[in-house]
Structure formats: C-alpha cells, structure tokens
C-alpha cells in the first residue's frame, strides 16, 4: 500500500494518506483511541487549520476521491459524533480547496467533497 505524508515535517504527529483513501497516523487521539480513521480525520483537521493551505492537494486525485468516499461512509456510520463531523467537514473543505484544476476529475472531486456531508 502506497502512502503520502500530508502534514509537513514540522507537524507532529504525522498524518499520511494511503492509496486506498485511509488515513494513517503515528498515534491515536483521545477522542477516538480505537478508530484509526477517526483519529486521522481529527489530526488532519488540526493540521489543515494550523498550516493554512490545502494539505491533500499534492496527493493523487484518485486517492483523494477514495478519502472523500471514506469520509462519507464515516459520517453515515457516526452521525452524532460532533468532533468527528467537524473534523470531517474540515478535511472535506481542504480537499475541495485543493482541487483547483479545471479538469473533469477535479470538478468531480469538488462535487463529491461538497455532497459527502449530506
């Protein structure tokens, strides 16, 4: 499985996006110690807010599309998780902002990122 770091080297803990759309983190968060994806969402959201520019933009669009699909499934599975919902929205916004290309794939990614929260 291929991975790509989405957080800069100065950000700790490191968050990586895997080719299957999963998030890999160095450690779990206190709010989701048993759920690696939820921990990854939370830490990626913190990084996105801290860094201030799209983190996922350098990842291949196919990986980002798989991430968006996973986020949508996560939101469906945990509809009352306020922290997870907030983190998911931040990550989806990051993906949306990073998909700036004027290609069909980028437009589809932006559309999917916006509709994943419904």
Residue among 17, 118, 8 at smallest CA distance from 72: 118
Alpha-carbon gap, residue 97 to 85, rounded angstroms: 18
52 token code pair:
């201030």
CB-based contact 41:23 (threshold 8 Å): yes
Tens-digit pLDDT profile for residues 89-113: 999 999 999 998 889 999 999 999 9
23 token code pair:
């998030």
Collapsing DSSP states into helix, strand and coil, what is residue 69?
helix
Tens-digit pLDDT profile for residues 48-82: 999 989 999 999 999 999 999 999 999 999 888 88
Residue 118 has pLDDT above 70, yes or no: no
**Cα–Cα separations (whole angstroms), residue 23 to 81, 85, 101:** 18, 16, 23
What's this model's pTM, rounded to 2 decimal places? 0.91
């Amino acid at each position: 499985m291929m991975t790509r770091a989405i957080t800069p080297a100065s950000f700790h803990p490191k968050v990586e996006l895997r080719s299957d759309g999963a998030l890999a983190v160095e450690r779990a968060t206190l709010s989701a110690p048993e759920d690696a994806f939820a921990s990854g969402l939370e830490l990626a959201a913190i990084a996105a807010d801290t860094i201030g520019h799209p983190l996922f933009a350098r990842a291949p669009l196919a990986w980002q599309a798989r991430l968006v699909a996973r986020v949508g499934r996560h939101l469906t599975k945990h509809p009352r998780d306020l922290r997870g919902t907030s983190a998911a929205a931040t990550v989806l916004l990051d993906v949306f902002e990073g998909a700036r290309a004027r290609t069909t794939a980028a437009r589809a990614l932006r559309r999917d990122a916006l509709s994943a929260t419904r």
